[in-house]
Each structure stands twice: as structure tokens, then as C-alpha cells.
Structure 1
Amino acid sequence: MNLQVVWHCARIPIALCLALWLVPLSSCSALPTLVPDMAHAPAAPVPVDGIRGPQSAARSKAVLDRLKSTGVETNIFDLHLAVEESIVGSPLTEGNKVDLLQDGPTTYQAMIEAIGAARDHINMETYILDDDEVGQRFAEALIARQREGVQVNLIRDSVGTLGTPPAFFDRLADAGVKILEYNPVNPMTAKAGWDVNERDHRKLLIVDGQVAFLGGINISSVYSGGSFSLRSKVRPGGELPWRDTDLRVEGPVVAELQKLFIDTWAKQKGAPLTPRHYFPPSERKGSEVVRAIGSSPDEPYSLIYLTLISALGSAQTEIWLTNAYFVPDPQLLAALKDAVARGVDVRLVLPSSTDSWLVFHAGRAYYNELLQAGVRLYERGEALLHVKTAVIDGVWSTVGSTNLDWRSFLHNQEVNVVVLGTGFGERMRVAFQADLVKSKEITQEEWGKRPLSVRVKERLARLWEYWL
């Protein structure tokens, strides 16, 4: 059942509401199994793309040898990257610049600046785009660039923007912005088939084919407060600030993200895109080695899920995960427990409060099993955690829109990037440790004393975990 639509039912016809509840019951799918032999196969040569496309075998080896020369004891490079390459298909690219952005205010300022500097086109894909102070700020910026001849193309998820008045999007369209509604709630308006469970959960902004933003941050005033400043613990309305993470990237990997946007536009049968320079010549912007990974429910399996499972299986020293919605499937659960058994330091930072009651308690239902296996669990305080990040062995990092739950892996369209190397890895470790400072560790003894009412909530929530 797609429980995200329940609170919207008062706004749509009863017949459609019944469809939203009943259709998913007959459309269950399963997560794929990563074959153990595949995970431990001898690593094939991993190609690396530069600004002019695929590098020579010698150059690719030199890039990976540089990454491995950091002294970090890890199997990531020897075992995982060839598996990742065969799973994902998108290339490792070098010559990228990656900026880590934390919380809404910092991210929004960087995005608005990039939009204001656009000269050719702006491609934006988002799950939530609210008609509030932040949403209006973005609308004004997009309309201003459209009126200056910059083509703006916008993909919005139907359920995520169901609460946004049609007039908000009409104003953008009247200015010339091309808008595509992903998998419309109303099946009569769907152009590419209809599946109520499918959602476009990506948050992606691409400007002039040269700079891109991605991560967990939607366009909404819930992000108006920071989560680290002592003065920003509570927003004006009394709500907790949202803690989230985005990336700003430049370099060859932007073209891979652009391909994902254009592919979604085409598969959803959007109006023909206005011709623009969507793929300008790549330029070297930095030294980061990055891979873009997109997952879509119309594919046989989640590419992000499989590459994560493979990376967890290759970890040698550390697995540090931060995630907002944690409802693990059996294979993810086993990967975490197996890592502890071979001596890996496995830590998860999870929410202490949430905007999704069922997901929150469904995830907590696994605490006892994880604690018994030696996984260290922390709950982030003073903020509503919405982060989706991982850093493994200090050298393999990922940031994106993907939660560690069934919905992200089976039903959502998601996008992540993987960044290799100790430089960015150390920035991720510092960010993780900063969240640890504001988190409370959950001990097995303490968890065993939780009240019966909490245990009942966990049992009830776990019944629905597949559809959350």
C-alpha cells in the first residue's frame, strides 16, 4: 500500500482513492540478490573517463593506483569497483569538483546563485516543490531566467507536489517554463502508463550542463533553519530544523546526471525539449573521481541498492551510514551484521524524531537484532534528520536521494553519486562525527527496557514496511 497518498485522499475522488489503496497489493516486486561469487570475483580493469571520454588503460590504472596509495586498508578498490562498473554501466569520471553542502539555507543560496548565473538552460527535477517562501523564491529565480531566454525544464513528482496549488505551476508555465508531472496521480493524464506506487524521489538541478546539485533537499520552507547553529535549533513556528545534505558538482560527471534527467523526460513522454547545449564540452574542474548512479522502478533492479550491497561487502575498516528512513531488507541487514563479524566498525546515525511515524517505528523494530550483532546505533537530536549518506573505509562515499528502505529500492526513482578518495572521504567523516556529537547512542541494555507501547508500535509498523 502506498501510505504516502493516504493524507491526500480528501482532495481526490473516492474511486481514485480506492485505487491508490488496492492497486499496490497486486503489484509486489522483490529486491535482487547479489550473488556472492560475483561480489568476490577477481576485479576486472576499471575504466575511468576524463574530459575527452574514456581514458587509456594505463591512465585509468594510474588514477586508481593514486586512490589506493593513501594507505587505507580496504577491499573497495580491489573487489568492489569492477562489480560496480558491471552493475551500473555509468563510468567513473575524474576531474570533478565536489562541494559538500549541509542544510537548506547553505544549499538554497548556492542553487539560487547558480540559477542566476545560467546562460543556456536549467534542468530541475524534484519530489517536493512547495508554494511557500522558499518555493516562491525559486519560482521567481526560474521565471527571471526564462524571461532572459534561458530555457527552464522542470520535472515534478505528482504525489510530492500534490499539495502545491495548480496556480503555482501555471505561473511558471505561462512564463515559458516547460513542466512535466511525473506519474500523475490522475491516471487519465498519464502519458507513459500509470503505476500509483512509482515516485520520482530525485532532487536534481543542472545548470548549463556544467554544474549540478543533488542530495536529499526538497524545495520547501521546512529547510529554512539550520541544524548546527545554537540559534537555529527551533524554527519560528516551533518546529525542529531539518538536517540534510546536498552536493554541488562540476566536471565530466555532470553529463552523466544530465543523461538521467533527459532520459526521465523522454520516458515520461514530456513535450520535446527546446534545443539547447545540454552537453557542452567537458572541462576539468577538480581532482575528484566520481560516478553518477540513477535508479528507476522501470528497471529490473535498483542499481543504487546493488552497488551499496557490494560496497558493504567489500568494506574493511569502517561503515558509517546516516539515513532518514531506515527499514532494511534481509540482504542489507545481513551485510551490516556480516561486516561487524569480520571486524568492521559499523555505525548508523538515524532519526530521533520523524515526519513518518510508520517508517520510524518499522526501522526501530530492527534495533535489537542490529545491537546484538554489534552494530552501533545513534539517534540524531535537535533536528529532524533527512540525510542520505554513507562513507566506507574513509574512501568510498555516497550522497543522494536514496533512503535505506523498500520504497527507495523498489518503487522510487532515485539518484546518488559515489565519490572515491580520502580527501572527500575525510570531509564526510567530519560531517558524520559532527552528527554523532548531537546524537545519543542506543545501547542494548537501554533498548531492552523500552516500554510495551513502543514494542507494539514497532510490530504494527513492520507489517507495512514493504509499502512505506
Structure 2
Amino acid sequence: MCSKHWARRACASTSRPSSCSTTRSGRALLQALRAAAARGAAVDVLADGFGSEPLTADYRAQMAAAGVQLHLYEPRPRLFGLRTNLFRRLHRKIVLIDGRRAFVGGINFCSDQLLASGPWALHDYAVELQGPVVGDIERFVARSRSAAHPPRTSAAEERIHGPARVRFVTRDNHRHPGDIEREYRVAIRMAQREILLANAYFFPGYRLLRDLRNAARRGVDVTVVVQGKADLRIVPIVARWLYHYLVPAGVRICEFRTRPLHAKVAVVDGRWATVGSSNLDPLSLSLNLEANVVIVDAGFGTELRARLLQLLAQDCTPVTAARVPKRTWWRIVSSMLVFHFLRHFPRWVERIPAARPHIEHDEADVGAQR
């Protein structure tokens, strides 16, 4: 969905909280949802079937008893002890309140392995939105509850209000498979002075990598922040295979080492910015359902840029040419094989027979309503 709107207030940088059933964050979330339902608010929660599997039956029953409607995207039983819904996940992070305020970003309430604070709390971002863009998000959320693939936004919804332009951009496997990546590539190709990009799982396709390298070669100051202290061991290993391609061209790579990075944000020329759920990796760009906002506004861009520059100054280690691993024949061959495997992997997964993604009411919720 692409529509231009006015953004009043935005940009929050925070550690990503954990929220499994027994954690402090999970209990706080349940309490807040209960309180909202008690005030008479209609409370709907649409959760990813893979990410929400650890929710206990007691936790779900408490949600149902409080009047909270829980819906699960693609819930599937385990097969030989393994979860079978790893791919084509609902990866969006959207909160909609009274049709007047919305939050879009990368922050989850989903993991029992992360702490709300401390060295393993993920660093993340979300944006608070008010104005006409919230109407687009509300219509999108309403359709998403009943259909896995929402219809394309009509041209009549592409409006401009106030000094800022905001587009709510989604990615799905039906009508909008490349919308978010396209927004990135257009902004990178149009950049004149500076590109600041922070992405937790950075392994984009060749076209976006080529755009970054070409931007650096034409004199644009290009900085990419990746994980240095990763939540998954393979993440920095995969990202470092790209250093040979980017660093010699003048792209500055910086590793965030204070704690794991979960950000999916970028600022171009201090004016164009994006915040959302989409990583620049094969899963987010080719399989998962994602949601970003693109904001064109000097005020917002300046604030997000300042936060990223502070991150670079305090918590990041630059990757110099001396730190790039030597180009041995084994490293060249293995990196090429892994790169092409990961890039083509989504196409192979799409060939695996699978039912059309669907949304189910939680059984505990249905039982409470009878």
C-alpha cells in the first residue's frame, strides 16, 4: 500500500522487550490489554503462528477471559517435533489505537530468550503516527484480519497533507512482493549526499548491493550498520561475506557491538527515512509479510539521523580495509555459493506445496465466547 500523508509525531528508539507468557513484559502487556477491554475497547490481537507458539494455554485463556480477541496467522502443528511454519511468516509489527494513532516498527513482544534490559536486549525502533496515514493503516488492518493478501490500495488514497509525506508500504506474496525493496532502491539511487542504513539481518540481493556501491562511487557518504554482537551466530558471518564487495567501493560498514541489533531503519540525505519490520535479507524481501512507513520530512529525517549518528559514535566499530578477511580461493568460492544459495532459497521454498495462508481464531478465545 502506498499513500502519502502527514506525520505529526515520530521516532522512538528503544530496546526490544521480551514478552513470553511468564516474563515481566508479557505480564505487563496482558495487564494493559485487560484494562483496555475493561474500559469497553474492542481489543484484537493478530499474532504470527510461529512466533506465538510459546504462549501458554493459561496465558491465552486469560486473554480470552478478559475479552481480548486473539487471532493466529498460519498456526500449524509440529511435525516430528519441528515447527513447519518457519517461512511465509507474519513479521509485521503494527499497533492501531482508536483509529487515531498507530505505531509501526520492528519491536516485538515475542521472545523468551531476550531481557527487557541488559547486554542482550535488542536495540530497535518504532514510529508513532497520527493523521490521514492512520486511516490507511486501519483499512489495511481490517482487511488483514479476514484475508492473507489484502487488495492493492486505490490511487484515490495517495494524498499529501501538511509538510510531511508518509507512505504506509507493505510486502506480501501476492500483490506487493517487491514494494519495500523498491522504496529502498529508489531512495538509494536518488541520494546525493548521505545514506545511513541500520539493518539487523543485512543480506540483500545483488541489485540493492550494486545501488549502494554505485552511490558510494559517485561520492555519496554511505554507511551501513550491521550486527557485531549477534543474537544468531550465522548473522555476522553471512554479512561479512559482503564486505569484499562494499568496503573497497567506499561503503562504510560499522558493527554495532553493545548488544544485538534489531533495527530496520534508513535515512537518505537527512530527509527521506523509513522505519519498519522488513530486514534486507531473503526472508523479509521474498517470503515474510512486512510493513514499513516511508517518511519524507526534514524534521523527522534530522531526528532519526541524529540518533543513528549517536549510535555510530558510541556503540559501533568501523570495518576498515585491514579488517576485511583475505580473499583466498576458498573464501571466494564459498561466499559465492552461499550468496547464490541464500538468494535463490526463497524461490525454492515457494515451490513447496503449501495451503494458502490463513488466519484462525484462537481456540481458547472461541471457547470463551460460547
> Displacement of 1:104 after TM fit?
3.5
2:116 to 215, 220, 224: 224
In the alignment, is the contact (CA less than 8 A) between 2:196 and 2:266 conserved in 1? yes
Q: 1:179 to 1:311 in 2, by over 3 A?
A: same
Amino acid across the alignment from 2:108 = N
Give 5+ residue unaligned stretches, structure 1: 1-87, 109-127, 189-193, 226-234, 270-283
Provide the identity percentage. Answer: 30
> Displacement of 1:454 after TM fit?
9.2
> Displacement of 1:347 after TM fit?
0.7
| Matched ranges for 1:31-46 at <5 A | none
In the alignment, is the contact (CA less than 8 A) between 1:323 and 1:387 conserved in 2? yes
Q: 1:348 to 1:159 in 2, by over 3 A?
A: same
In the alignment, is the contact (CA less than 8 A) between 1:240 and 1:383 conserved in 2? yes
> Displacement of 1:445 after TM fit?
1.7
- The aligned counterpart of 1:391 is 267
Pairing 1:263–2:174 present = no
1:208 to 84, 94, 98: 98
- The aligned counterpart of 2:12 is 101
Q: 1:299 to 1:357 in 2, by over 3 A?
A: farther
* d(CA) in 2 for partners of 1:434, 1:155: 34
Q: 1:130 to 1:462 in 2, by over 3 A?
A: farther
Amino acid across the alignment from 2:173 = P
Pairing 1:91–2:31 present = no
Amino acid across the alignment from 2:204 = P
* d(CA) in 1 for partners of 2:285, 2:324: 28
Amino acid across the alignment from 1:97 = R
| Matched ranges for 1:425-444 at <5 A | 425-437=301-313, 438-444=315-321
> Displacement of 1:316 after TM fit?
1.3
> Displacement of 1:310 after TM fit?
1.3
| Matched ranges for 1:456-467 at <5 A | 462=339, 465-466=342-343, 467=345
1:179 to 70, 73, 91: 70
For these two proteins, the number of residue pairs brought into alignment is 327
| Matched ranges for 1:123-272 at <5 A | 130-131=20-21, 132-186=23-77, 197-219=87-109, 222=114, 224-225=116-117, 235=118, 239-268=119-148
Amino acid across the alignment from 1:161 = S
> Displacement of 1:456 after TM fit?
10
* d(CA) in 1 for partners of 2:27, 2:328: 44
1:337 to 191, 210, 213: 213
Deviation by residue 1:315-365 (Cα, 9 ceiling, x = unmatched): 111111001000121111111111112211111011102122233322211
* d(CA) in 2 for partners of 1:170, 1:457: 49
1:352 to 189, 213, 228: 228
Pairing 1:361–2:361 present = no
Give 5+ residue unaligned stretches, structure 2: 150-159, 347-370
Amino acid across the alignment from 1:289 = R
Deviation by residue 1:67-105 (Cα, 9 ceiling, x = unmatched): xxxxxxxxxxxxxxxxxxxxx5x22112x3122111138
> Displacement of 1:134 after TM fit?
0.3
In the alignment, is the contact (CA less than 8 A) between 2:274 and 2:293 conserved in 1? yes
- Ranked by relative contact order (alpha carbons within 8 Å, sequence separation 6 or more), the top structure is 2
Higher relative helix content: 1
* d(CA) in 1 for partners of 2:142, 2:216: 41
> Displacement of 1:287 after TM fit?
4.8
Task: State the SS of the aligned residue for 1:92.
Answer: coil
* d(CA) in 1 for partners of 2:310, 2:209: 25
> Displacement of 1:260 after TM fit?
2.1
Task: State the SS of the aligned residue for 2:175.
Answer: coil
- The aligned counterpart of 1:121 is none
Amino acid across the alignment from 2:129 = V
In the alignment, is the contact (CA less than 8 A) between 2:34 and 2:63 conserved in 1? yes
* d(CA) in 2 for partners of 1:319, 1:433: 12
In the alignment, is the contact (CA less than 8 A) between 2:96 and 2:102 conserved in 1? yes
* More displaced stretch, 374-383 vs 167-176: 167-176
In the alignment, is the contact (CA less than 8 A) between 1:328 and 1:363 conserved in 2? no
Q: 1:196 to 1:425 in 2, by over 3 A?
A: closer
Amino acid across the alignment from 1:252 = P
In the alignment, is the contact (CA less than 8 A) between 1:103 and 1:223 conserved in 2? no
Q: Report which of the two structures shows the higher radius of gyration computed on alpha carbons.
A: 1
Q: 1:317 to 1:256 in 2, by over 3 A?
A: same
Amino acid across the alignment from 1:443 = T
Amino acid across the alignment from 2:171 = S
> Displacement of 1:263 after TM fit?
1.9
> Displacement of 1:135 after TM fit?
1.2
Q: 1:223 to 1:459 in 2, by over 3 A?
A: farther
> Displacement of 1:156 after TM fit?
0.4
Amino acid across the alignment from 2:92 = R
> Displacement of 1:168 after TM fit?
1.6
In the alignment, is the contact (CA less than 8 A) between 1:97 and 1:285 conserved in 2? no
Deviation by residue 1:417-441 (Cα, 9 ceiling, x = unmatched): 1111211111111011011111111
Amino acid across the alignment from 2:325 = G
In the alignment, is the contact (CA less than 8 A) between 2:196 and 2:308 conserved in 1? yes
Please, what TM-score do these two structures have when normalized by structure 1? 0.64
Pairing 1:371–2:262 present = no
* d(CA) in 2 for partners of 1:383, 1:210: 34
2:325 to 420, 430, 448: 448
Q: 1:160 to 1:246 in 2, by over 3 A?
A: same
> Displacement of 1:368 after TM fit?
1.1
1:320 to 181, 187, 196: 196
In the alignment, is the contact (CA less than 8 A) between 1:359 and 1:461 conserved in 2? no
